[in-house]
Amino acid sequence: MKKIECLAMLLAGGQGSRLGLLTKKVAKPAVAYGGKYRIIDFPLSNCVNSGIETVGVLTQYQPLELNEYLGNGNAWDLDRANGGLHILSPYQQIEGTEWYKNTANAIYQNINFIDRYNPEYVAVLSGDHIYKMDYNEMLQFHKDHEAVCTIAVMEVPWEEAPRFGIMNTNDDWSIYEFQEKPAEPKSNKASMGVYIFSWKELRAYLIADENDPNSKHDFGQNIIPAMLDDGKKLMAYPFEGYWKDVGTISSLWEANLDLINPNVDLDLSDSSWKIYSNSPIAPPHFMDENAYVQNSVVAEGCYIGGSVESSVISSNVEIEQGAEVIDSVIMPGATIKKGAKVLYSIVAENAVIEEQAQVGELPENLEPGAWDVAMVGPNTTVAKGEKVKAGESYGNKEDN
């Protein structure tokens, strides 16, 4: 097989349980974002735009919808004669069948796949973040510093640092310590979940890690500390720009609304760094004569007859006359009927908000601190006149 320089392994098997109803039946990377995208479009498009054309996508949790979405990779131009997109699910081996136990174990179980391409470098990516990044520049940085492992980091506000994996670095950006969610961080350089390894080294560490019965087989907790203990050269690659973890309902809601926030540096219309997606077949959207749409994003196939403010409206959504949507994310195929109100909420795919129903609440109508994002789960109907409170997750009976 033709030798390639850098191969990407995309970890897409996580459940994303903090997204509640949204990930009940689909894996987190397949969750809808930004009107027409899914979270996994970001790392995949970054790979293609960076010239990485061999991508293994590791799936495990609820892979049906994700697999269908990925198809043969054509939407990202990853249906290739050499390389391209490969969906890697756990498989049966002579010693038995094993699920992916953790991040490092997932890569370990696919050593054979990586060896087939015999790459110099392997990028390990996660399918949980919204960001645009040139992995090729990071690879160059990795090569320039002759590192064993390079980890992309982002400076986060100090008060948020305890929520992240923190890299403590020397002046030359080499890492001397890794702290997972430290109570008292020594640095504000948070790991972005983007790693580049020299494959030969990583391969040896994965095998050693697999043989360690005390290991949790996790990159952050085991592989990186083991490399640091051995005095290997680990570099932090500083990234500037938009990057957001969309692991919770409120962060997913925020990341969507960032698309229409003029103070946020997230532009998906840049034709030199396109975000590709497996677009649904839909006609253009239609604004009828009663439509009132301010500071919002509207995708194809929609019908807008009501009023929409500061919201993200995904493909094939219907917002009937007299309906009101404010600061909300409406996912593909949802319907907001006449006179219904959706305020500061997420309405998931194919949900129906019946007439005069209300989802969520304006923060100013509540006591300070009492407000949170409300959510209506996929394929759920909120009955006529019913109310879904701020912070509530409203799902189908069988989903609860």
Partner 1 sequence: MQGNDVFGIIFSNTNDEALSEMTNLRTMGSIPVAARYRMIDFPLSSMVNANITKVGIITKSNYQSLMDHIGSGKPWDLSRKNDGIFMLPPFGLGSLGMYHSRTEALNGAMDFITKSDEKYVIIADSNLVANVDYSALIKTHLKNGADITVVSADCVPPANVGKQVQLITDENGKVQEANIITGGGEKTECSLGIYIMERYLLIRLINEGMTKERPSFKRLSIIDNIGKLKIYACKHQGFCHMIDGLSTYFNVNMDLLSYVNRKDLFNSERPIYTKSKDTMPTRYGLENIAKNVLMADGCDIEGEVENCIISRNVTVSKGAKVKNCILMQDTFIGEDATVEYAILDKHVVVKPGKKLCGADTYPIYIAKSTIL
Residues of this chain that bind partner 1 (CB under 8 A): 34-36, 74, 260, 268-269, 274-277, 279, 281, 283-291, 293-300, 312-314
Q: Which is nearer to partner 1, 93 or 279 (CB)?
A: 279
Collapse the DSSP code of 376 into the 3-class scheme (helix H, G, I; strand E, B; otherwise coil) and give the result: strand
Is 341 in contact with 324 (CB distance < 8 Å)?
A: yes
Least distance between partner 1 and beta carbon 31 (Å): 17
Q: From the CB of 35, what's the least distance to partner 1, in Å? A: 4
| CB 167 within 8 Å of CB 153 | yes
Spatial CB neighbours of 37, under 8 Å, sequence gap ≥ 6:
268, 275, 277
Cα dihedral angle (196, 201, 206, 211), rounded to 10 degrees? Answer: -160
* 5 vs 300, beta carbon nearer partner 1: 300
Tokens of 306: 């009501």
Give the shortest CB-264-to-partner 1 separation in angstroms: 13
In the numeric block, which tokens belong to residue 194? Answer: 């983007």
Provide the minimum distance between the beta carbon of 385 and partner 1 in the complex, in angstroms, as a whole number. 27
How far is it, in rounded angstroms, from Cα 360 to Cα 12?
Answer: 31
CB-nearer residue toward partner 1: 41 or 361? 41
Q: What is the β-pairing status of strands 84-88 and 54-58?
A: parallel
State which residue, 230 or 288, has the beta carbon closest to partner 1.
288
Nearest to 164 by CA among 179, 186, 150, 184: 179
Report the residue number, 151 or 313, with the smaller CB distance to partner 1.
313
State which amino acid sits at residue 23.
T
**Cα(334)–Cα(314) distance, integer angstroms:** 8
Please state the closest distance from residue 302 (CB atom) to partner 1, in A.
9
183: which 2 tokens? Answer: 């109570």
d(CA 343, CA 124): 38
Give the nearest distance from C-beta 27 to partner 1 in angstroms: 22
Q: How far apart are CA 30 and CA 66, in angstroms?
A: 5
CB of 140 to partner 1, least distance (A): 26
Rounded Cα–Cα distance for residues 393 and 60 (Å): 25
- Output the smallest distance, CB 291 to partner 1, in A: 6
Specify the residue, 192 or 275, whose C-beta has the smaller distance to partner 1: 275
Task: Report, in Å, the least distance between residue 74 CB and partner 1.
Answer: 7
Between 223 and 313, name the residue whose CB sits nearer to partner 1. 313
Residue with tokens 């083991």: 226
- State the Cα–Cα distance between residues 122 and 120, nearest whole angstrom: 7
Of the two residues 270 and 398, which places its CB atom closer to partner 1 in the complex? 270
Task: In whole angstroms, give the CA distance from residue 141 to residue 144.
Answer: 5
Task: State the residue for tokens 């020594």.
Answer: 186
Q: Which is nearer to partner 1, 266 or 366 (CB)?
A: 266
Residue bearing tokens 């100090």: 158
Q: Provide, rounded to whole angstroms, the least separation between the CB of residue 332 and partner 1.
A: 11
CB 252 within 8 A of CB 246: yes
Host H or E run for residue 112: helix 111-117
Q: State which residue, 208 or 287, has the beta carbon closest to partner 1.
A: 287
